[in-house]
Structure 1
Amino acid sequence: MKNTELKVKDELQEESLFNGSLGRRSFLQFAGASAAGLALVAAGCKKDRGYIDTTMGATLDFKDDFGVLNYAYALEQLEAAFYIQVASAPPAAFTATQKAYFQDVQFHEIAHREFFKKALGTAAIGSLEVNFSSINFSDAGSVLATAKTFEDLGVAAYNGAGVRLTNTTYLVLAGQIVSVEARHAAYVRDQISNGTFADLGTLSAFGASDSNGLDGALTPDKVLALAGPFIKTKINVTNL
């Protein structure tokens, strides 16, 4: 157990773009998710299913649960890259609380990303190249608006992909992650406009229903179309 903790800590320090030491809470959040990832490996997810990253891009094959897990892995790569960049150089207009929030959330997303990478093992797609040219990372409004888009999209993506999972263990784990993404979405919405964290009416584009009190659920093709402008790597989809 001690060796595992040291390994996780090394990985965390490697990912950090800060000069100072990491907070205890961030480390525990990352370590907890990593432990869950190792449990998923033990459950039998680490198999060579032929998912490879080629010169033609990354392939998501939705013929089984592993395709869904790789789909989630792709989205978590996008979110992690975004939050790491924001946390490394937050907008000058950010308050101390907002800076602390983005520092914490970067480790949530790193944990989610590493969760899927370790769980999938040789079945994982490769690292995706992102395209953040449309984001002004020095402007608080641009950063918050992008964070809102990513979090709302992430919630809708997990909700929409859940029906494709046949293994109940994976389904429960996906539920645990999407609930965290929803917390992020609520916080960011309140930073943009206080008191709007529960306003589902503004989420119609993501499939939310204010009248039924339900969050959005989008199919992978719709999610990938919305995420596409932020990803340089070509995403090939089969058996959707």
Structure 2
Amino acid sequence: MTSLLNLAAFDKDGAIEETAHAAGATRADFFKRTGAATAGLVVAGSVFDGLLSPAHAAISSKPSKANDVKILNYALTLEFLEAAFYIQAVQAKALPGWLISNFAEVVAAHEDAHVRLLQSVLGSAAVKKPTFDFKDTITDQAKFMATAQVLEDTGVAAYAGQGPNIFQRPVVKAALSIHSVEARHASWVRLISGQNPAPAVVDEPKTEKQVLAAVTGTGFITG
């Protein structure tokens, strides 16, 4: 697989400036700051509509109830992405063998449940579901496995990165209940890929900036 979804390829030297902060500026300013216009990291304006709105400002390091809403919508958008990826892979019926197809079916149900949990917590404040195009990553076995691994790693890193910023105890409980399952998914996909399911002693959390840069870089969000 190419560098698609390779988190390590993003913002190695800090060249991608505060992605989430830039959402409060014009789209032209955002593209200028991130280099997205020339690097092809963003598909049209869908990222703003489906990923960064309605909480235009970046998640704060100062916990508050308002900040919790931003964190939950950030998590919800990631769960929308994951759920759609697995559901579409199951519907395509192109993945060979029970090990892989069973993984896709079980994780599709989990991610869909995560979406519904976050929507129930957010109520009317929940962002809308974006539209996605996963291309051949849902039909090509090697690309499916590689994409699944990075999506799960991204989810784990994103939840870990926001844990310290959560203000309300019920939100902490909801986030932790999802975070541990995402970690199980990450181990599972490695195991059926013939890899070490627990390759590191500790996992590095990812900031909102890092995660959003990686997600927009996939080109999967189309509207």
Structure 2 match to 1:224? 212
- Percent identity of equivalent pairs: 35
Structure 1, residues 46-86: CA drift from partner, whole Å, max 9, x if none? xxxxxxxx996141343511100000000000000000011
TM-score, structure 1 as length reference: 0.64
Q: Within 5 A, what are the aligned runs for 1:143-162?
A: 143-162=144-163
* Amino acid aligned to 2:82: E
Find the aligned partners of 1:199 and 1:75 in 2 and give their Cα distance. Answer: 23
Q: Does 1:80 align with 2:69?
A: no
2:137 & 2:69 partners in 1: Cα distance? 35
C-alpha distance in structure 2 between counterparts of 1:102 and 1:185, whole Å = 12
RMSD (Å), alpha carbons: 1.9
Structure 2 gap ranges (5+): 1-44, 61-66
* Cα deviation 1:141-189 (Å, max 9, x = unaligned): 1100000010000000000011110112211221111100000000101
1: CA distance, partners of 2:126 / 2:138: 30
* Partner Cα distance (1:140, 1:125) in 2: 31
Greater relative contact order structure (CA < 8 Å, 6+ sep): 2
Which amino acid letter does the alignment assign opposite residue 167 of structure 1? Q
Task: Report if the CA contact (8 A) 2:85-2:138 is conserved.
Answer: no
Query: What residue number does 1:122 align with?
Result: 124
Aligned twin of 1:28: none
TM-score (norm 2): 0.69
* Deviations 1:64-115, CA, capped at 9 Å, x for gaps: 11100000000000000000011112434x2113212211111100000111
Amino acid in structure 2 at the alignment position of 1:57: D
Deviates more, 1:175-184 or 1:94-103: 94-103
Native 8 Å contact 2:137 2:147 kept in 1: no
- Structure 1 136/66 Cα, relative in aligned 2: closer, same or farther at 3 Å? closer
Query: Amino acid of the residue matched to residue 164 of structure 1?
Result: N
Shift of 1:128: 1.1
* Superposed displacement of residue 232, structure 1: 2.6
Give the equivalent residue in structure 2 for 1:207: none
In 1, the alpha carbon distance for the partners of 2:138 and 2:109 equals: 18
Partner in structure 2 of residue 57 of structure 1: 49
Q: Which structure's residues are more often strand, by fraction?
A: 1
Partner of 1:137: 138
Task: Indicate if the aligned counterparts of 1:144 and 1:188 stay in contact, CA closer than 8 A.
Answer: yes
SS at match of 1:136: helix
> Residues of 2 paired with 1:188 and 1:157: CA distance?
18
- For the pair shown, the structure with the greater C-alpha radius of gyration is 1
Q: Where do 1:1-240 residues align within 5 Å? A: 57-58=49-50, 59=53, 60=55, 61=57, 62=59, 64-92=67-95, 94-133=96-135, 135-194=136-195, 196-200=196-200, 213-228=201-216, 229=218, 230-233=220-223
Counterparts of 2:98 and 2:156, CA distance in 1:
27
CA contact 1:155–1:216 (8 Å) conserved in 2 = no
Unmatched runs of 5 consecutive residues or more in structure 1: 1-53, 201-212, 234-240
